[in-house]
Amino acid sequence: MSLDRGGPKGPEGVGLRSTQFRKEREEVWRELEKLVQHAEKRGVRSLPAQYLVRLPLLYRATLSSLSVARAISLDRNLVDYLESLCARAYFCVYGTTHPLRDALSGFFRDRFPRAVRRYRYHMALAALFLVLGTLVAYVLVARDADWYYVFVDGHYAQGRDPAATTDELRQVLHRGGRPEELGFFASFLFTHNARIGMMAFALGFLAGVPVYLLLFINGLILGAFAALYASRGLGTEFWGWVLPHGVTELAAVVLCGGAGLILAQALVFPGRHTRLRNLALKGRDAGVVVLGAVAMLFVAGLIEGFFRQLVHDAVTRYLVAFSSLALWAAYFAFAGRERPA
């Protein structure tokens, strides 16, 4: 802006400095407004490259106009307009910028495994609750089969209880199905489990207590089943039935539970920040973990829906179980690590 000495009486009108200022800058604002309008309607990335380059420049120029206008202009409409235009441009410039595709690839390569590693103790704690539940139920049911009815709901058991014959129990482990039915089964399992997983995460908001319960109860059911099958000498077959998908599924459940614990910790022990700020900081990491876990549950649903129903050979089942364990372990241990320069 050329601040000429122009006194109160200029050639045009009263010669307000703020009017002069507006005349000189208005073109820039209008150009920015047009770009922002376009971006708001069709997205920032729909802007042609030559405009995309102008956007931050125009934005900064308009921000500086706003500062000047606040200092020299009493035209409220002008200041309001600039403020609103700056805010709109700010949303364009600082809104989410990377395309979804890049975000996703970076997600599985780096962010997901890194977040899991960063919160490994939360994950370990969540796993501990699951294992604890499994052990408790296993020991109790192994000593007295009546405990089984305490841990496993009648609806859920569907006849798989201590009253069933060994043959009936074995049949469940080798139930097959037509592939087209299995597709529906797999997608049902995935959506169902994903919802449980997201629930485990969200429950962390209630100080984490429900997360412990959920993990522990899941462990109880697993342990009760295992004890029941073991008591009939079907232990190996049972684990061969559970583990191929169970490794992935249980890992995902543990991750969701761990993410819930991250939230709970942020709420209960906020540390250096305020509770709300800390929740916001930790919450995002926890969300990364949950999203990754949902993807894992998708894989688990496929294994459970197809593989388990189609492949009945114990060796193959164990092979898949152990290789999936090794794969996930390697993924979470090494993926996304920064290489020493």
Partner 1 sequence: MSGRHGLLDRLDERTLERRIVTPEGIPLRIEVARAGDRAGGFLLDLLIQFLLILLLILTVGWVSGWDDDWGSAFALLAAFLIRTFYFTWFEIRWQGRTPGKRASGTRVMDAAGGPLRSEAVIVRNLMRELELWIPLVLLFMPEQVWPDAPGWARPLFSVWALVFLLLPLFNRNRLRAGDMVAGTVVVLAPKAVLLPDLGAAAPAEAAHAFSDEQLSIYGIYELQVLEDLLRRTDAGRREAFEAVATQIRKKIGWQGDVKTERFLRNFYAALRARLERKMLLGKRKKDKFAKG
Ranges within 64-103 binding partner 1 (CB under 8 A): 66-67, 71-78, 80-81, 83-88, 90-92, 94-98, 100, 103
Long-range contacts of 54-62 (CB under 8 A, 24+ apart): 55/89, 55/92, 55/93, 56/93, 58/28, 58/31, 58/32, 58/89, 59/32, 59/86, 59/89, 59/90, 59/92, 59/93, 61/25, 61/28, 61/32, 62/28, 62/29, 62/32, 62/86, 62/89
Contacts (CB under 8 A) with partner 1, residues 3-42: 8-19, 22-23, 26, 29-30, 33
Contact track, partner 1, 171-210, x by CB under 8 A: -------x-xx-xxxxxx-xx--xx--xx-xxx-x-----
151 binds partner 1 (CB under 8 A): no
Is 250 or 288 the residue whose CB approaches partner 1 more closely? 288
- Does residue 320 contact residue 244 with C-beta atoms inside 8 Å? yes
Residue 69: closest CA among 9, 28, 12, 19: 19
Sign for the pseudo-dihedral over CA of 299, 303, 304, 305: positive
Is 26 or 146 the residue whose CB approaches partner 1 more closely? 26
Residue 213 in tokens: 């319960």
Is 2 or 165 the residue whose CB approaches partner 1 more closely? 2
153 binds partner 1 (CB under 8 A): yes
Q: Which stretch binds partner 1 (CB under 8 A): 165-173, 213-221, 278-286, 316-324?
A: 278-286
Is 255 or 321 the residue whose CB approaches partner 1 more closely? 255
Contacts (CB under 8 A) with partner 1, residues 247-266: 263
57 binds partner 1 (CB under 8 A): no
Contact track, partner 1, 203-242, x by CB under 8 A: x-x-------------------------------------
What is the C-alpha separation between 307 and 133, in angstroms, rounded? 27
109 binds partner 1 (CB under 8 A): no
The CB density around residue 106, as the number of other CB atoms within 10 Å, is 13
Q: Which amino acid is at 56?
A: P
